[in-house]
Every structure is written in C-alpha cells, then in structure tokens.
Structure 1
C-alpha cells in the first residue's frame, strides 16, 4: 500500500491505480478543480503526503501546476505519452499496470530552495548546449530526456523548471544526454 494519497483526474484513473497498486486517490474531476477538492488535497498533504499523477497532456499538466502551486511539497509521478496512449486518447487510465508501478516507483520530490546547490544546478545554457531548446529536434530531444530523467515532457521553460524543482543533478543530466546522443536523437 502506498502511504501517500494519489491525485488523479477522474474515476477511470482511480480504477487503473487501484488495479496496479494499493493506494487511495483524490479525483480532481478535470481541470476545473473545486475548492472542496483542493482542501481535501491540502489535508491529505498534511496527514499522509500527496503524489500528483496526471495525464501527460496539456490539461494534465495544467492540473499538476494548479495543485503544486496551491499545495507545496507534493511529489510527482509521470508517464510517457507512449505509456499512456490508448484507443481513445492519452491518459493514466490507458497505462499498463507495469507502467503505473514504474511511474510510482520513480516518484520525484520538489526541491526546497535552501537545499539547492548552485554549482550542480542545470542552467538555461545547458539546455541550449544540449539541443533541448532552439534546435530543430528540441521537442523530440526534450521528450526523450524527460523520459530518461523521470520528469515527463515539457516545453523548454517548464523542462528547465522541472530540472531545478526535482533536483536533477548535472551528472544525471549529462548521463541522459550521453544516452540521447547514443540513440542518435
């Protein structure tokens, strides 16, 4: 049984989570999260901790951002788009039990500002040098790097923010970049 409460978008996501692991969930009911739901998430964070596990699409990222801004310290689980792709779209509910367990085993915690070592921070220039921004294949490269680092797909600005928030070390970043280069991306 997972200790934290998992925040998901809807009842089909809850069904998929319960099928894959023992866990309690809070459903946001989509991107228009009500005040009562936010208060339940805040209480869950106080008492047990929260893992945000939303779909790897724009509405899912919007929900992730809204909850993370309102309820600091939440952990994050990510699926790749290919893991979440189903016949009727992209979503946690389409992921295999194995993909859900892998995502929950690879949960990331945000970094507190005071804990961050500035020498190890990923800089904007690192993304530029790595071809993750302002590059013909930057979106594809960011998607694959996000998979390898366990932080999901994001645009350049959000990718940089996630590298900082989830304490991606320079070593992790460079190792993933080497793998990316070996894959020819």
Structure 2
C-alpha cells in the first residue's frame, strides 16, 4: 500500500515503523524542538502532496503537533492509542513500537484539524457525560479519544479537539454510548 501524503514523524525509528506498515515518504522533526527549516519542509510538502502528522501519544508529541498546526494549518493528524504504542516492557511509548496494522489504521483515520468557533459539543455536555471531573473521567476520555480517532486529551484539550475535528453531536454521543456500555461490562 502506498500513501500520497508525506508523513511527519519524530525520528528515524518512527520512519522505520511507518515504512514497515506501508510505502510512504516521511519528514522527521528530530524531537520536539522543531526547527524553522523543518517547518518549511513540512509546509512545502503540505502544498505539494498533503501532510499527515503522526507523533507519539505523549506530551512532546502533542507539543510537536501544536507547533506544526500553528505554522502549517490544514495538515491531517493521525493518532495511535498509547496502548498500541507501548513498548513490550511497558517503559516507553512511541510510534516506533506500534504494529504495522496500528500505523495503517491511524493513517487511514487521519483528520484535518480546523480552527473553528462553532461549538457543537459544549463543556457542559462533557461534564454531564462524566468526561470532566469525577473518578472515571480520564478513562472515559481515553476511550472516547480512541473511538473518535482524535487521541487522548485532558478535558480542556478534548473540548478543543472536538471543535477542531468538527465532531458532530451524533458522532460524539454514539461514541460516548459505546464507552459507557464498555464501562458496564
């Protein structure tokens, strides 16, 4: 399987993981201190072929996503769940540890993050759903992020991602229902 877009990853090991999964070109950020030169490459790739950002499901990975989004709006974003990106011994989390199937699923589900003021799901909806505050909120957000293919986020980030990915109320409540059903079992 070959992919048209250029995949932005953190490093060489991530490039190898992507290339085990499919045929694709990558740009490596070399960590969270993304250089201006790298941002220029990403912008050029975005204009010519499109870009999918695939970073580790951790704080530095989020920092890279944010920097790229600020400098190159309109890129697609793919997320690998932290359980699929965990090293066998459990000590490390990263794209490089994900299976080829997990990488392909993440890339297939890539979304464009849009800056929007339209609030389809309110903060009050998140509180009422038990996604903000409460003993099970973090677990529910984790599962919801996995179902919606938007990655794990804290309460404030979740609200922002729901808006940026333009998740409809129908999609949100359908995914939430799955999460709550899973919780009961």
Output the TM-score relative to the length of structure 1: 0.94
- Give SS of 2:111's match: coil
Structure 2 counterpart of 1:91, from 87, 94, 108: 94
Deviation at 1:134, TM superposition (A): 1.2
For residue 26 of structure 1, what is the aligned residue in structure 2?
Answer: 27
Counterparts of 1:69 and 1:163 in 2: how far apart (Å)? 18
Partners of 1:65 and 1:93 in 2: CA distance: 21
CA distance in 1, matches of 2:121, 2:26: 33
Partners of 2:115 and 2:152 in 1: how far apart? Answer: 22
Looking at structure 2, the residues matched to 65 and 112 of structure 1 have their Cα atoms a distance apart, in angstroms, of 12
Provide the residue aligned with 2:12 in structure 1: 11
Cα contact 2:54–2:79 (8 A) shared by 1? yes
TM-score by length of 2: 0.94
Give the aligned partner of residue 112 of structure 2: 109
Structure 1 stretches of 5 or more lacking a match? Answer: none
Name which of structure 1's ranges 173-182 and 6-15 shifts more when overlaid on structure 2.
173-182
Distance 1:47 1:77 in 2: 19
Q: Distance in 2 between matches of 1:112 and 1:82?
A: 29
Question: Which residue is 1:46 aligned to?
Answer: 47
CA distance in 1, matches of 2:113, 2:82: 22
Cα distance between partner residues in 2 of 1:45 and 1:24? 12
For each residue in 1:60-118, what CA deviation from the matched residue of structure 2 results, as whole angstroms up to 9, or x when unmatched?
Answer: 1111111111110010000000000003500000000000011011111123538x5x5
Aligned to 2:66: 65
- The answer for the alignment partner of 1:178 in structure 2 is 177
Indicate the RMSD between aligned Cα atoms, in angstroms: 1.3
CA distance in 2, matches of 1:23, 1:71: 20
Aligned twin of 2:143: 144
SS at match of 2:152: coil
Distance 1:12 1:160 in 2: 32
> What secondary structure, in the 3-state scheme, does the structure 1 residue paired with 2:57 have?
coil
Deviation at 1:137, TM superposition (A): 1.3
